[in-house]
Amino acid sequence: MRNRQHNKIKLSHSLNAILKTKNLHPMQKDLIRFVRDLYYQPFKAKELFFHSSINDGELNGKRLMRSEGRESICLLLAACIASLNLANFKLETPLSSGGAKSLSWQDLLRFLPDGYKTYNGRPNDSIYEASRVLQKLNILGLVLQYEVMENGDKRAVPAIKWLNKNWLVKIKAVKFSHLTRVAKYTKEGIDAKFKKWRLRNKGHSDHIIAEAEYRKQLSEKVGEEKAARLLSQNSDRQKIDEFLKLKAMFPVSVIRKTYPELFI
């Protein structure tokens, strides 16, 4: 009991710290407070906190997730909410040039206590497990990306791309009409910044926008890291597209031998 009380105090302190983040929209603050309430009243999100394989309390034949698991999930949700682009509910930072910067785990971890980070600044196992639970329930959208470890090996890590706003409406955290109004208002602000940026960068903006859009489309096909590698190796879009089309049918060794012009 004493340990649970300590966890509650620690969680409340951590969420209050997130609430103090600069430039949070009032709706984001309300959603983070709602997530804080979910920890104390888990029955509001039964599918999230009650499972048949976890033993600690019961509801309709299912058992309540342990307090440590609920804490990790609530903190991760709060960090994602604080990092949202409210125009589309993706985890990204809009840029004045019309594009957006995808958020890394390091960007999310700045909201979490040190106990949830490994010595090298990566999420610990409890946060990865929380992300898997939220993905399984279609609350968070994850994609696999590859990172180079200190010994040179590569490993796949999940990257969070979006938060399911329909789930927030379903658990009565917010009304859909409110989400729509905020999204419209946010998008208008982003578009206004983009218009000013284009005026300041007249003559260069179209080329930059086209390159950013192509990089975005390529990243959606093959992942951000592979897209960056392909673009650094070859700036000819036609060759890149042809290579990807052939790669879906033949091994790279065959393509390299038969179509050497696709390689630098």
pLDDT one-digit tens code per residue, 223-251: 766 676 666 655 566 667 777 777 777 77
d(CA 29, CA 162): 18
- For residue range 107-126, list pLDDT tens digits in order: 888 888 888 888 777 888 89
User: pTM of whole model > 0.95?
Assistant: no
Report the candidate in 104, 130, 102 with the shortest Cα–Cα distance to residue 215: 102
**According to the model, what pLDDT value does residue 96 have?**
81
pLDDT tens-digit map of 7-37: 556 677 888 889 888 889 999 999 999 999 9
Specify the amino acid at residue 108.
Answer: L
Contact by Cβ (8 Å): 39, 69: no
Nearest alpha carbon to residue 217 among 233, 198, 240, 200: 240
Whether the predicted pLDDT of 55 surpasses 90: no
Tokens of 93: 């930072």
Instruction: Give the residue ranges of DSSP H helices in the chain.
Output: 2-19, 26-40, 46-49, 67-82, 105-109, 125-136, 165-170, 176-200, 205-222, 224-233, 237-247, 252-258
Full 3-state SS string of 74-132: HHHHHHHHHCEECCCCEEEEECCCCCEEECCHHHHHCCCCHHHECCCCCECHHHHHHHH
Higher pLDDT, 201 or 15: 15
